[in-house]
Amino acid sequence: MTKKLIFKTNQNEEVYQYTLKNQNGMQVDLLNLGACLLSIYVPDKNGNSIDVILGHEKVETYEQNPTYQGAIIGRYANRIGNATFDFHGKKIELEKNSVNHHLHSESVGFNYRVWQELQFNTDSITFGIQAPDGEGNYPGDIDCQVTYQLTENNGLIIEYSAKTKTETVANLTNHSYFNLNASNNSNILNHIVKINSNKITDVDADSIPTGEIKDITGTAFDFTQPKAIGQNIDDDNYLLKNAGGYDHNYVLDASDEAQITVYSPETGIEMDVFTNSPGVQFYTGNGINGQFVGKEGYAYPHRAGVCFETQFYPDAVNHQNFPSPYLTADKPQHFETEYRFSVKE
């Protein structure tokens, strides 16, 4: 672990970069701003060190971070329909920032804040953040911790914890955009993906869940057998057309095996994803289209990265048949996701 001060925010808060390294050539760079993943370097099939996540050219840009690069999203990730939900008979009205809906907590989002450094060791670091009752009109206080741990088998474990003194809702995730070809290398359409799920949450034209759990067996959404992301992404399918590609929540079952596997034929890098979260938002960077400059001055093209955001289902606060994002004083939240890298010859 190393730590260095790199800049101060507009509020004069100190932003530090942390670096974790293991004995196998893997390196992870982090910021306390947004508890953000800055870079993940892993060896490719030729022994070269490849940065496999997208990011901004200038570190100062993470203070705005319009596409949530690498950040921890909270207190509520993903969408809440009509920016409202019922909380014990009280109508909670939130900020509308995605058509008429609420997305990623927006102006009170944890991705914009400097997190407190709680603990760091040779292989891990823990960040913490708190939000009071009523901030952004969310009910209840919340105290969150996120731990990043780098293992000697090239795994990056992200541990999410949330607790409250009262009752509230929470949905934490990490919003890294992966490109196993390299962070400055074209798009992710050649990535071979396997997702051990044959169900997604159906959505309307605004990407808000209808409440139906949809069977996707044999459709363009079926990744139960490995296939390239680009194989069906532009199919004549109303869900794909509405989202401009994949931006959908897959229903996950608890498993000791990887629920997701991603492979780049170009670099030989393979990433396995293990999680105990109930769902994962599979997002293929449909909103990226060269509008901002990334690492090394590279303007990211359309679908330059792919996200695997492990979390509760979108709009779970409005659907009783979805796993509940509520937590209470005696029922905190605790989830863990591991991104484990290897080389496939």
Give the span between the Cα atoms of 9 and 7, in whole angstroms: 7
Question: Which one of 63, 270, 309, 338 is the catalytic residue?
Answer: 309
For residue 75, say if its preceding peptide bond is cis, omega within 30 degrees of 0. Answer: yes
Is 175 among the catalytic positions? yes
Question: Which one of 175, 191, 248, 319 is the catalytic residue?
Answer: 175
Using only C-alpha atoms, what is the Rg of the chain? 19
Tokens (6 digits) for 41 = 């370097």
Give the span between the Cα atoms of 191 and 54, in whole angstroms: 15
- For the annotated catalytic residues, the residue numbers are 175, 309
